[in-house]
Amino acid sequence: MVNDAIRLLAAGVAIVTCLLAGAWLSTLLPVRLPAAILGLLLLLFCLCVCGKVPNALQRTARPLLVHMPLFFVPAVIAVWQFTDVIKTNGLTLFVAIVVSTLVVGVALAAWVNTLLKDKHEH
Amino acid sequence: MSTEHIVQVMLWSVVTGGIYCAGLWLYKISRSQPLLHPIVTSATAISVLIFSLGISLTNYLQATHWFSWLLNIATVALAIPMYQQIQVIRHYGWRVWLPIIAGGIAAPGSAWLFAWSIEAPEDLQMTLLAKSITTPLAIDVAGAIGGIPALAAVIVILTGLVGAVFAPWLFRFFNITNPIAAGVGLGTAAHAIGTARAVQMGQTTTAVATLALCINGIATAVVLPLLFG
């Protein structure tokens, strides 16, 4: 029981360490890349070296991933700070955000869907 | 840190978490209605709460600022589903990464083209180019190419929200059933929020969406400042 808790905690520390290493790395690179993306790549690299995902890591990561939308809530609320800009550029923003995002997203998915279907048929 | 600040942090974190749980429950009993996605219901409920009680927006944002830490930690954890599906990604090769790159150009490109065609202000046009990459990156890139950093954050969040809420519904409508296809669409058009949505659609979708998030984020951050910086 206690051992298990320690393992989960260690897995959490490992993820945070990757994030911190990513933050440090981002200050060294000539192009600024976000700490989280660099941390992700570092963890991916570690997993490739390790050859498997430790059970504790899997269990610690699961709730974080499943409830990721929760962590976006304050960022969405922050949009209220910019109602003026949104009002002034309403049409441009609407087309750019709603139309372009959905058209591109769906067209891409449809394209990949067809590509993969062809691969299966051959 | 004052005691009052700590109380505020605890209060607003618990309120946000509680409302999110209620939103999650509502989403479940509505059988995953896209408009009732917990991120939509939680943000709406909290906005109503803040404005009806006259609470300062800045207070709320300061109290919940640490959520961005959790977000970063969760983003790092995306390496796990990506690793577990790396064979699948390798197996399909260019059929996955080519559309991701094409979409990474088409998503901001189409938004910019529209803004340019209606002669929108130039700083707005530049900001739109950073729309499909994850927030911290978009803020930096927008600043570097003569856009408006604060607006970039808004555009990125709304892009992700719209993509995450409506894209899965449209996939069903157009009969796009392949989990890899859904992952490419979500990750490329709706970056991290789309990827968070992909987690609910299965591991393959998550892995491919994460791949799209990484490729586009890094490529855009490198290419845009070189072109316009």
Q: State the DSSP string of A62-104.
A: HHHHHTHHHHHHHHHHGGGGGHHHHHHTHHHHHIIIIIHHHHH
Mean pLDDT along residues B173-183: 93
Q: Is the pLDDT of residue B1 over 70?
A: no
Whether residues B155 and A97 touch (CB distance < 8 A) is answered with yes
pLDDT, tens digit, for every residue of B92-124? 888 998 999 999 888 888 988 998 898 888 888
Q: Is the pLDDT of residue B69 over 60?
A: yes
Show the low-confidence residues of chain A (pLDDT under 70). Answer: 120-122
Query: Which pLDDT score is estimated for B13?
Result: 96
Rounded to 5°, the CA angle A44-B138-B89 comes to 30
* Contact A10/B at CB under 8 A: no
Nearest-by-Cβ selection for A108 from B16, B75, B184: B184
Which is higher by pLDDT, B223 or A7?
Answer: A7
Angular region, A51: left φ>0, alpha ψ -120 to 50, beta rest: left
Confidence grade of residue B76 (pLDDT, cut at 50, 70, 90): very high
Query: Which pLDDT score is estimated for A121?
Result: 62
Report the 10 Å Cβ neighbour count for B8. Answer: 17
Dihedral of CA B118/B119/B122/B124: which sign? negative
The single residue listed with the structure tokens 């029981």 is: A1
Nearest-by-Cβ selection for A40 from B75, B115, B164: B75
The single residue listed with the structure tokens 């260690």 is: A10
Tally the residues of chain B: 229
Chain A: residue whose CA lies nearest to B48: A77
Dihedral of CA B14/B16/B17/B22: which sign? positive
Query: Which pLDDT score is estimated for B52?
Result: 95
Mean pLDDT along residues B177-202: 91
Mean pLDDT along residues B135-141: 74
d(CA B148, CA B9): 29
Mean pLDDT along residues B147-166: 86
d(CA B101, CA B110): 14
Domain residue ranges of chain A, discontinuous segments joined by +: 1-66, 73-122
Residues of chain A found within 8 Å of residue B99, distances taken between Cβ atoms: 108, 111-112, 115
CB-based contact B217:A37 (threshold 8 Å): yes
Which is higher by pLDDT, B60 or B225?
Answer: B60
Shortest distance, CA A4 to any CA of chain B (angstroms): 19
pLDDT, tens digit, for every residue of B11-46? 999 999 999 999 999 999 998 888 888 989 999 999
**ipTM of the prediction:** 0.91
Nearest-by-Cβ selection for A96 from B111, B190, B195: B111
At residue B191, what is the residue type? H
Chain A: residue whose CA lies nearest to B181: A109
Confidence grade of residue B225 (pLDDT, cut at 50, 70, 90): confident
Query: Which pLDDT score is estimated for A59?
Result: 94
User: Residue B84, exposed/middle/buried by CB under 10 A (0-12, 13-18, 19+)?
Assistant: middle
Specify the 3-state DSSP secondary structure of A59: helix
CB-based contact B180:A116 (threshold 8 Å): yes
Chain A residues 62-121 within an 8 A CB cutoff of chain B: 64-82, 85-86, 89, 91-93, 95-113, 115-117, 119
Shortest distance, CA A5 to any CA of chain B (angstroms): 19
d(CA B61, CA A80): 11
